[in-house]
Homo-oligomer: A and B are copies of this chain.
Amino acid sequence: MGLTKTDNFTTEQNELAAFAKALGHPARVAIIEYLSSQASCICGSIVDAIPLAQATVSQHLKELKNAGLIQGNIEGNSICYCLNPEKWKKFKQMLEPTFTHIEQPVCC
């Protein structure tokens, strides 16, 4: 198969899964870490910072953009990428119940 049965789950569950999936590759983790530590975020800098070919980095940027975790703004000749604060807030908020739960483990 290889086809996720998204209809069986809630919109929220699918959205959280999409956020997590977008972060589920070390190159994309590296991109997010880079954007979390930089004021500037020109695409070319990201390509230089990630040890993969330009085409591959572009593809990873596209996936992060599709998930909404980053956004890109045209800046003359190049593109300025940055984190999307609202989506990250939603991501964080959706993880909260579990982060809270593990403070008082009850089982096993």
Oligomer: number of copies: 2
Partner of A108 from the list B8, B10, B41 (CB cut-off 8 Å) is B41
Min CB gap A47→B, angstroms: 14
Q: Is the CB of B21 within 8 A of A25?
A: yes
Q: Is the CB of A4 within 8 A of B25?
A: yes
Q: Taking the complex as formed, is A26 at the interface, i.e. its CB lies under 8 A from any CB of chain B?
A: yes
Residues in B whose Cβ lies below 8 Å from that of A37: 97, 101
Q: With the chains together, A85 CA to B88 CA distance in Å?
A: 22
Q: With the chains together, A17 CA to B25 CA distance in Å?
A: 5
Interface string of A89-102 (1 = CB under 8 A from B): 10010010111011
Additional A-B contact list (18), CB under 8 Å, known A39-B106, A85-B105: A4-B25, A4-B27, A6-B26, A8-B27, A9-B26, A9-B27, A13-B29, A14-B26, A16-B23, A20-B22, A20-B24, A20-B29, A33-B97, A39-B107, A41-B107, A80-B108, A83-B102, A83-B105
